[in-house]
Amino acid sequence: MRHVDTTLSYAQLLDQQDALASFRGEFYQKEGTIYLDGNSLGLLSKRAEKSLLSLLNSWKELGIDGWTLGENPWFYVSEQLGSSLAPLIGTASEEIIVTGSTTTNIHQAVATLYKPTAKRTKILADELTFPSDIYALQSQLRLKGYDPDEHLIRVKSTDGRILSEQAIIQAMTEDVALILLPSVLYRSGQILDMKLLTEEAHKRNIIIGFDLCHSIGAIPHELSEWGVDFAVWCHYKYLNAGPGAVAGLYMNKKHFGTMPGLGGWFGSKKEKQFDMEHMLTHAEHAGAYQIGTPHMLSLAPLLGSLELFQEATMGRLREKSLQLTRYMMDLIEIELSNYGFIIANPLEDHRRGGHVYLEHPEAARICKALKANQVIPDFRTPNGIRLAPVALYNSFENVHRAVQTLKTIMEKEQYKQFENTREVVA
């Protein structure tokens, strides 16, 4: 075990040395509460609030002319945001479009790129991925006339926490047409080696994409350099764009010109969209894969939120995130060693995303006790506790106080006041 200073004064010293400390003041945080659930829903920032109110005012002042006039004309915002997002995932701006939801974007990407042949019919995923991804893949297989029980392969985990890249590669058999994997596993926080997996998929002529929901805004990416075919993600976790915020879709430029699997009028070339022809002339970039009219009020907060990422930079955010999660794990090992917790996320920096994942038989009770003590965690059935110290708005003192609160809960058995069952929203 590493030697770690466990005093509050040391945590406060780390905060004094934090080059990103000023960003905490950009966010609305309830006094006395330590929010560690930013990997489920990020906090509201003042910039996101401002951009939402600005867009709301453009509707108020301009009416329908808001589509082409004002500070951020609505007709072009989805593409405009692609330029701001490009540095976060390492792509060209024209390869990104802000549209739909994560699941509808999976449907679009798979409907567009999944082209089964007599020999290649199967889709490869994994047994630990978020259920919605599986539902979408099952649906797409059924639409093509295939039985998901036979044609959807799910790579198994040996321990229920992490995946082996080698096991995934071994499953890339000659009957696989398309692969969809998480970049970061939503439970354990394991980072998959996207570069390696993409190289191996392409050696076998397999299309590969990633769900970036738990990595965008938390770790750097180089999707274009790696040659990833497509990716999808949400903006309401680390990117703090609000509940149900419009999602993102990346389509590698080598696929530009491919007819959208799911057509819709907002995928049109801008200059053709209002010609109202019954033949789709789709855009020649990622904008082609939009379907319906953008949800402007659910998109607007991202305009402000991304300003903070441009100022903080992804490199500095990742460095602090790793420091926060390492500090949290060190404190847990020292302070909670006698209470049955297992640190179930990868310990190595290059394999760990933005949160710490604990397992405990009383996890649901413990999460309720944490909330009662104004520490906000995330429970995952059946025995998981996710704690996300987010670099933009959490401090080292937050981490220290959260672990001390957890220690008190265990010492005094406060968790026994609660039922060991999850709430409706975990």
Q: What is the pLDDT of residues 218-237, one digit of tens each?
A: 999 999 999 999 999 999 99
Binding-site residue set for pyridoxal 5'-phosphate = 102-103, 130-133, 211, 214, 236, 265, 293
CB 353 within 8 A of CB 218: yes
- % residues pLDDT > 70 (the chain): 99
CB 33 within 8 A of CB 370: no
* 335 confidence band (pLDDT: 50, 70, 90): very high
Binding-site residue set = 102-103, 130-133, 211, 214, 236, 265, 293
* 421 confidence band (pLDDT: 50, 70, 90): confident
Q: Which CATH architecture has domain 8-31+313-417?
A: Alpha-Beta Complex (3.90)
Peptide bond into 382 cis (omega under 30): yes
234 φ, ψ (degrees, to nearest 5): -105, 170
- Residue 371's SS3 state is helix
- 28 pLDDT above the threshold of 90: yes
- 1 pLDDT above the threshold of 70: no
Pick the CATH number of 49-310 from 3.40.190.10, 3.40.640.10, 3.40.50.720, 3.30.365.10: 3.40.640.10
* Average pLDDT estimate for 255-275: 94
User: Mean pLDDT in the chain?
Assistant: 97
| 161-173 b/e (C-beta count within 10 Å ≥ 16 → b) | bbbeeeebbebbe
Q: What is the dihedral of CA 410, 414, 415, 417, to 10 degrees?
A: 160
Residue ranges, CATH 3.90.1150.10, the chain: 8-31+313-417
CB 37 within 8 A of CB 243: no
* Average pLDDT estimate for 143-159: 98
Cα–Cα distance list, 298 to 40, 126, 256, 294 (Å): 17, 31, 27, 9
Read off the pLDDT of residues 339-360 as tens digits, 9 standing for 90 and up.
Answer: 999 999 999 999 999 999 999 9
| 251-277 b/e (C-beta count within 10 Å ≥ 16 → b) | bbeebeeeebbbebebbbeeeebeeee
* 424 confidence band (pLDDT: 50, 70, 90): confident
Tokens of 366: 């413990």
Residue ranges, CATH 3.40.640.10, the chain: 49-310
Read off the pLDDT of residues 297-327 as tens digits, 9 standing for 90 and up.
Answer: 999 999 999 999 999 999 999 999 999 999 9
Give this prediction's pTM.
0.96
Q: What is the dihedral of CA 198, 202, 207, 210, to 10 degrees?
A: 0
CB 232 within 8 A of CB 105: yes
